[in-house]
């Protein structure tokens, strides 16, 4: 399992402008790789370095890397392919189950076990054989694993979509026997006084009541989303738009009913705003830090080894996202589509809990969020590459394709399982506001990309 980034041992440093072929050849002479009095060999090295530099410059230009990367080319056991080893271990496990283990006489248990085993075999195949994506840290196999999990999750959603409403909800009991029971939604509205003079014991009890586990979850969620999107304006637009969606849909889901200060102070300003701010600070650090990679055993000090291990969980190189939505119609529609899909995925979180009868604190809800944390960054990078350089990236990336399919499938499950809730008409005032907003976007699009260009 080798890294897709360049690991040429003859190159000491890679930069956006490339290295001079003569300097590279001279460096190899100085390092003792070539005898200085061998002109034929030196000329051959110089020609190879020029070819190598050309390939590196082309790769740099295509990937859009915005930083200098140094890599000493170390390829240790950690990075090598282990396809035969994995196949041998998997075969041994299957032989053990077949020949040495007695099969229980329990149909339900054997069915669950067979499904889990099938998934594990697919994950083993995908981790060793699937195509690498744009990320390689901490290891390409990590991202191949989440790609395979994405496939498994989409197949699970398709299975749920093809069941009846009753069967689909009861099927969740096979995952957790506590599921399959309707649960009331908590109402976050009610008394919206920030300071309640009638409560002499604790007049700020309404604020403390809202301080639950979802407050740090909001902050952490938007910190991670900022690292995915890498743009302050897009993050703030999505954050504010979701609060408007909660206002608009509180007649469908009671837990969307929150106090005004819960919407705009606790959510937008404090949790979301602070998460976006910290995310942008982290992005600034990532764009400025040096990307110098050495093999662990090539580092002499223990402090350097520990630092190298910690940096293994940071990006291999850095790409700054410049969305430029107003530059042309294609980018404008792409950014609108990204915002729409982000908002739809956010809404799916709440509506899936409602239609599949899962309490907010259930571990499946948390696992879904962890899943999107791991696949969202890859999907956004693939979308950006596809939008920014369509001549080089001729098709949408595999993770982006799957995430879009999952978002749509989740929404279709919501529509099928509870059409009465999802089809409740919006209040007339809310409908007018959304109609006006859509009309303004449509009008601006016509003016910016059609009327203005003609003039």
Q: DSSP secondary-structure letter at 188?
A: B
User: Is 32 part of a structural domain of the chain?
Assistant: no
pLDDT band with cut points at 50, 70 and 90 for residue 31: very low
For 62, half-sphere exposure in the C-beta direction (CA atoms, 13 angstrom radius) is: 13
CB atoms within 10 A of CB 351: 22
Tell me the pLDDT tens digit for each residue of 184-231: 656 555 667 666 677 667 666 667 676 666 788 889 999 999 999 999
User: Is 99 part of a structural domain of the chain?
Assistant: no
b/e string for 96-117 if b means 16 or more Cβ within 10 A?
eeeeeeeeeeeeeeeeeeeeee
Kindly tell me if the per-residue pLDDT of 453 is higher than 80: no
pLDDT of residue 18: 42
User: Is 228 part of a structural domain of the chain?
Assistant: yes
DSSP β-bridge partners for residue 393: none
Question: What percent of the chain has a predicted confidence (pLDDT) above 90?
Answer: 53
User: Is 63 part of a structural domain of the chain?
Assistant: no
The DSSP line for 205-247 is HHHHHH-STHHHHHHHHHHHHHHHH--HHHHHHHHHHHHHHHH
Kindly tell me if the per-residue pLDDT of 411 is higher than 50: yes
| Cβ-based neighbours of 154, under 8 Å, separated by 6 or more | 402, 405, 406, 409
User: Is 375 part of a structural domain of the chain?
Assistant: no
User: Is 269 part of a structural domain of the chain?
Assistant: yes
Kindly tell me if the per-residue pLDDT of 57 is higher than 90: no
Furthest C-alpha separation in the chain: 94
User: Is 328 part of a structural domain of the chain?
Assistant: yes
pLDDT band with cut points at 50, 70 and 90 for residue 24: very low
Tell me the pLDDT tens digit for each residue of 303-362: 988 988 888 888 999 999 999 999 999 999 999 999 999 999 999 999 999 999 998 889
pLDDT of residue 203: 65
C-alpha of 437 from chain center? 29
User: Is 35 part of a structural domain of the chain?
Assistant: no
- The span from the CA of 110 to the CA of 385, in Å, is 44
> Which token pair is 255?
């837990």
Domain total of the chain: 1
Q: Domain of 301?
A: 211-355+382-387+404-424
């Amino acid at each position: 399992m080798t890294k897709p980034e360049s690991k040429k041992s003859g190159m000491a440093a890679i930069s956006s402008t490339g290295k001079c072929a003569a300097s590279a050849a001279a460096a190899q002479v100085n390092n003792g790789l070539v005898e200085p009095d061998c002109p034929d060999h030196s000329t051959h090295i110089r020609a190879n370095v020029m070819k190598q530099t050309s390939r590196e410059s082309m790769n740099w230009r295509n990937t859009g890397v915005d930083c200098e990367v140094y890599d000493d080319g170390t390829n240790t056991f950690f990075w090598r392919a282990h396809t035969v080893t994995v196949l041998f271990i998997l075969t041994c496990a299957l032989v053990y189950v077949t020949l040495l283990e007695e099969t229980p006489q329990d149909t339900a248990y054997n069915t669950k076990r067979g499904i889990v085993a099938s998934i594990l075999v697919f994950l083993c195949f995908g981790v060793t054989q699937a195509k690498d994506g744009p990320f390689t840290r901490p290891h390409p196999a990590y991202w191949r694993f989440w790609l395979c999990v994405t496939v498994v999750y989409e197949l699970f959603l398709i299975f749920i979509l093809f069941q009846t409403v009753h069967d689909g909800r009861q099927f969740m009991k096979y995952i957790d026997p506590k599921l399959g029971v309707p649960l009331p939604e908590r109402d976050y509205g009610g008394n919206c006084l920030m300071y309640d003079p009638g409560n002499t014991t604790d007049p700020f009890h309404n604020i403390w009541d809202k301080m639950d586990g979802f407050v740090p979850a909001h902050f952490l969620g938007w910190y991670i989303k900022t690292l995915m999107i890498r743009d302050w304006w897009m993050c703030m637009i999505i954050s504010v738009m979701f609060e408007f969606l909660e206002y608009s849909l509180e007649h469908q889901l009671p837990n969307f009913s929150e106090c005004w200060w819960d919407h705009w102070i606790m959510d937008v300003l404090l949790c979301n705003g602070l998460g976006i701010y910290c995310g942008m600070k982290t992005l600034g650090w990532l764009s400025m830090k040096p990307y110098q990679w050495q093999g662990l055993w090539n580092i002499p000090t223990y402090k350097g080894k520990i630092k190298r291990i910690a940096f293994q969980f940071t990006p291999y190189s850095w790409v700054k996202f410049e969305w430029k939505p107003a530059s042309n119609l294609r980018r404008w529609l792409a950014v609108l589509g990204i915002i729409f899909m982000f908002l739809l995925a956010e809404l799916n979180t709440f509506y899936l809990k409602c239609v599949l009868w899962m309490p907010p604190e259930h571990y499946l809800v948390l696992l879904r969020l962890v899943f999107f944390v791991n696949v969202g960054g890859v999907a956004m990078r693939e979308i950006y590459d596809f939008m920014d350089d369509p001549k080089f990236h001729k098709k949408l990336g595999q993770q982006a394709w799957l995430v879009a399919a999952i978002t749509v499938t989740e929404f279709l499950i919501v529509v099928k399982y509870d059409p009465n809730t999802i089809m409740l008409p919006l209040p007339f005032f809310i409908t007018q506001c959304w109609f006006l907003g859509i009309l303004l976007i449509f009008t601006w699009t016509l003016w910016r990309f059609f009327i203005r260009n003609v003039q």
